Structure 1
Amino acid sequence: MKHQAPLFALVLIASAIGQVFSSARAADPVYPRGIRVGITPLVGMAPAKAFVGFETSDQGVKVLMTELPAAAFAEVDNALKTNPAAMPVKPEGIETGAGRGYYTVENAKDPTGNVRRYSMIVAGPTFSGYVAVQVPENAMRIYTDEAVRQMFASVTVRKDVPVDEQMALLPFKVTEIGEFKNIRTLPPGGALLLADAADETKTEASPYIVVGTVSSAPEKAEDRVRFAQQAAGMIPGLRDGRITMSEPIRIDGAPGFETRIEAISGKDNTPVTVVQWLRFGGSGGNAMRIVASSPRDEWPKAFPRFRAVRDGIEPR
C-alpha cells in the first residue's frame, strides 16, 4: 500500500500528458480575435485577457501570438541557410499547417523562477506569424517540449480577419468605410486601416486612412494648434513634408482640428496630400486621430471618401 500514492500520482501525470497531446492533435486551430495566426492551444489553456494568445488559469503557462512583417521569416530562413553558425540559437525546422516554420527552445529565469521559453515563426501570404510560449518549471512535466512542438505544428494562417471581428475590437464604432476594400486593425484593437491597395507593402501608393486615438490631448483650445502640428510631424513614412493648412473645425459637433500636408511618400517617391483630423473631448483626455493620405493626382476623388469615413465614426 505504501506505493499506492506515488503510483496514483504517476497515473494522473500520465493522464494529463495524454490529454495535452490529444488536444494538440484533435482540435481545430483557434484564431485569437483580430489576427491572422491560429493555433490549437494545449489542454487547460484559454484565451488570455491581457495579451493576444492563450494562458492557463493560473497564468503560469503563456502562449503569445502576433504578426510580424513578411521579411521577418525570410531573414530567419536566409540566415539559417547561409550562416547558421552566426545565430545565437539555431532554430529547428518544423512542418506546420501554414507550411515550413522554425522554432527555438531556451532555458531562462523570470521573477517567478526557472522557465522554458519557445518561439516559432512561419510565413503568411503578406506577413510572418510569430508564437512565443513560456512554461514555468512547475508545469514542465505536463507542458513538455514535445507537447509544445506538436502545438507549434498546428499553427495555421488565414488571409484576412473578418471585418466584423476587427470592428468589434476597436474602442469606437465605424459606420462608413468609404468603399475601401482592404480593412485591417493595427495592432489588433488599436487602430483601423482602410486602404485601396491589396498589397500591404504598397499601401502608400493608393488612398488609405488610419483611424485611432491619441492620449494626453490638450483641453485648452490655445494648446491645440501646437499639439496638432506636432502630431502631424510624427506621421510615419513622409518626407519633405510641408503643412499647407492647420485650423480648428467642428467634427460632429465636437471641437476638432484639421491639418493638411504636402509630402513625398513610399519607395517610389509618390507625391501625396495628407489630412490629419483630431476630434477632442474624448474620455480620459483622449482624442480621436484620423490620418488619410492619397497620391496628389487622386486627391479630389479620395477626399470625399475620407470625410465620409470621418463623419461615420462614433464613440462606443
Structure 2
Amino acid sequence: MRRLLCALAGSLLLLFAPVAAMAQVVFPNQGLIGIAPPPGMSEIPGVAGLEDREAKAAILMLEMPPAAYADIIRTFEPEALQSKGVTIEQRKDVALPGGEKGLLLVGFQSVGPVALKKWILLVGGKDLTAMVTVQFPETASAKYPDAVIEAALKTVTLRVPPSQEELLARLPFTIGDLEGYRVLKVLGGTAVLLAKVKGGEGADSKAVDVAGQPFFIISAVRGEIREDDRESLAKRAISSVPGVKELRVERGGPLRIGGQPGFELVGKALDQQSGKPVKVAQWLRFGRTGYLRMVGVAPEAMFGSEFDAMRALRDGIELR
C-alpha cells in the first residue's frame, strides 16, 4: 500500500509540475500579449517571443489591429495553409483567461527535409488581434509534449494598450512639445514612432490613417562613438531608414544639437509602398555613453512646411 501511495504521489507531482511552472504570465518585449511559458523557454531580447535554443523551439507573438481577425480567419482554411507547406491536423476553439475566444490550429510544417511541429493560436480581442505561433522540430517533442504546449497556449492573456503617457514613461529620453505629432508605438523600450495622423488630436487610435503622412522616429543607442566615425555612422544609419527606398543624400554635415555635437543629413527617397517621392531628415546627437538618432520623413510636397516642426521636435528631446 505504501508503495502504491508513493507511486501515485509521484505521478501527481509529474502531472501538476508543468502547471505550477507555468503559473507566471510574462509579456515579452513589453508587448500586449502574455503567456505562461512552458519550462525551458526564456524571453528573446528585443523580440515579442520566447525560445529554447538548445531544442530549437520558439514561441512568437504578433500584434495586429482588431479588424485583422476576420481577414486572417479567411486565410486559415486548410487549403490556403497547405499551399504554404502547413498541414493542419486539428482545429478547435479555446477559451482564454480574459474571456476571449481563440482559434487553435495544430499540425506541422515541412521546411525542406525537416518537419516542424506547429501550433497557431489566433485571438480576437477588443483592442487587438493576437497571433501566437509555437514551433520546433519533432525531435523536441519529448521535452515539449502536446499537452504542455496546449496548456501554455490556454494561458495567453491580452492586456489593455498603455496610454500615451505610459508609453513615453518607458523611454530612456523625454520629449518636449510633440509639435502636432502623436505616439503610435514604443519599440523595444528604446525607440518611439510618432506620426501626424488624419483626424487630429482625439481621433480614435484604432482608426488613424498614417498613409502619406509625416512620421518621426526617435531612438537611443548605447556606445561611445569617436569623432572621426560620426559621419560614416550617420551615412550608414540613413541608408536603413524604414519605409523608404532609393534614398539619395542631398546635403549634410556636423552641427550642435542642444549644446552637444551632432550630425545632420537630408535626402530624397521614394515611399516603399506607394513609390511617391518623400524627403528624409536624420539627426544624430552624440553624448558620452551613446547617442540619440532622430529621423523625420514626409512627402516631398509637405517637407518644407514640416521641416521646422521636425527640428523643434528634435530640439526638445533629452536623455533621462
Matches of 2:154 and 2:92, distance apart in 1 = 7
Contact 1:204 1:266 in 2 (8 A): no
Question: Which structure is higher in helix share?
Answer: 1
Match of 2:132 among 122, 130, 133: 130
Distance 1:13 1:217, change over 3 A: closer
Deviates more, 1:176-185 or 1:127-136: 127-136
Matches of 2:119 and 2:167, distance apart in 1 = 26
Matches of 1:174 and 1:160, distance apart in 2 = 20
1:250 and 2:256 aligned: yes
Contact 2:174 2:318 in 1 (8 A): yes
Contact 1:33 1:165 in 2 (8 A): no
Partner residue of 2:201? none
Post-superposition CA distance 1:185-204 (Å, at most 9, x none): 23x22421011236899645
TM-score (norm 1): 0.69
Contact 1:79 1:87 in 2 (8 A): no
Match of 1:78 among 75, 84, 90: 75
Partner residue of 2:146? 145
Match of 1:269 among 271, 275, 284: 275
Match of 1:95 among 93, 96, 104: 93
Matches of 2:27 and 2:163, distance apart in 1 = 11
Matches of 1:18 and 1:93, distance apart in 2 = 23
Residue 274 of structure 1, CA deviation = 1.5
Distance 1:132 1:272, change over 3 A: same
Contact 2:78 2:87 in 1 (8 A): no
Deviates more, 1:129-138 or 1:169-178: 129-138
Partner residue of 1:297? 301
For residues 91-240 of structure 1, the aligned pairs below 5 Å read: 91=88, 92-95=90-93, 99-104=101-106, 119-122=119-122, 129-132=131-134, 145-155=146-156, 157=158, 160-186=161-187, 188-197=188-197, 203=210, 205-214=212-221, 218-221=225-228, 223-240=229-246
RMSD: 4.5
Match of 2:32 among 36, 42, 47: 36
Residue 208 of structure 1, CA deviation = 0.8
Residue 219 of structure 1, CA deviation = 0.8
Post-superposition CA distance 1:225-282 (Å, at most 9, x none): 3332232223233244332320111111111011111222143333322210011234
Partner residue of 2:113? none
Partner residue of 2:62? 67
Runs of at least 5 residues in structure 2 that lack an aligned partner in the other structure: 110-115, 198-204
TM-score (norm 2): 0.68
Post-superposition CA distance 1:130-187 (Å, at most 9, x none): 34377977865xxx5345325424535467343344334434333443332342023x
Matches of 2:310 and 2:121, distance apart in 1 = 36
SS in 2 for 1:3: helix
Q: How many residues align?
A: 293
Post-superposition CA distance 1:82-120 (Å, at most 9, x none): 34544544244343555553444669xxxxxxxx96542
What letter matches 1:170 in structure 2? L
SS in 1 for 2:270: strand
Aligned residues: percent identity?
Answer: 23
Partner residue of 1:260? 266
Contact 1:204 1:265 in 2 (8 A): no
Contact 1:93 1:101 in 2 (8 A): yes
SS in 1 for 2:216: strand
Matches of 2:85 and 2:121, distance apart in 1 = 16
Contact 1:20 1:147 in 2 (8 A): no
What letter matches 2:31 in structure 1? I
Runs of at least 5 residues in structure 1 that lack an aligned partner in the other structure: 108-115
